[in-house]
Amino acid sequence: MPRVLTVVNIVLAVGLLACIGVTAYFAILVLGEAIRAQKLDQFSGLAIGALIAVVGTCLTALASLYTANRQAEVTTSVEEARAIAAADLAALQEVITARLDKFKADSAADLERLKKSLDFHTTAHRELGGSAAMYFYALRSAAIGTFDEAELERAETLMVETSRHLTYVSDSFEDEWLAFWQVAQAIKREAKTLADPVQRSLSVARGMESKDHGKMDLRDRYASLKEKAKREVS
């Protein structure tokens, strides 16, 4: 559109200049005749005045038309610039909105995954700590009372069942839990080789008080495991 207005301005300017040129030409002819006749009659004076008026009118019309078309050209350019800016702004808003929506969706998904991970993490420590507690107190009861093999087998079965939660705990906690289980199994197996119930109880008591190379007995192992599980659950 601005290009069209520019062409129109050029055409108008050429037309008006042509008008002025023609008018000037006739004015020169009239003045030439007056000079040759060495006098300026009334008709010639009126003709020159009319031609001058025509030139003035043409110049005024040229200025008015050029100004009007120039204003229209500027207005059109401004409107086009506004339209382009509005389109760019709308496109930018769409991009920002899409990115915000994606960010919100990703954040919600990450939060949900984190929540599930924390739930699994908490459950794992609670279940693993609980099974270790059952095994420890089953052995403790056997050490100070009657050796109940069925109760110890239930504790062993629970350890097997809760081992599925090891995926959701740290490697250090897993190693410590498995080490506790291994020591507890060894104490139980050693006591089961004895026929006398009293000797079995004594064997369990000695096994629970026996310290390993790290100078830890079963009670120390359980206390450490319990403390770590409680810290993870809280």
Span 143-152, pLDDT tens digits: 998 888 999 9
CA distance 208 to 179: 14
Say yes or no to pLDDT of 94 above 70: yes
pLDDT value at residue 101 = 73
Residue 59, CA distances (Å) to 70, 75, 163 in order? 16, 24, 101
Residue 13: Cβ within 10 Å count: 14
Q: What angle do CA 152, 158, 159 make, to 5 degrees?
A: 90
Look at residue 77 in the predicted model and tell me its pLDDT. 75
Read off the pLDDT band of 88 (50, 70, 90): confident
Q: For residue 57, what are the CA distances in angstroms to 54, 63, 97?
A: 5, 10, 59
Q: Which long-range contacts (CB under 8 A, 24 or more apart) does 98-105 make?
A: none
Distance CA 222, CA 209 (A): 12
pLDDT band at 116 (very low <50, low <70, confident <90, very high): very low
89-98, 184-193, 199-208, range with the lowest pLDDT: 89-98
Q: What is the pTM of this model?
A: 0.52
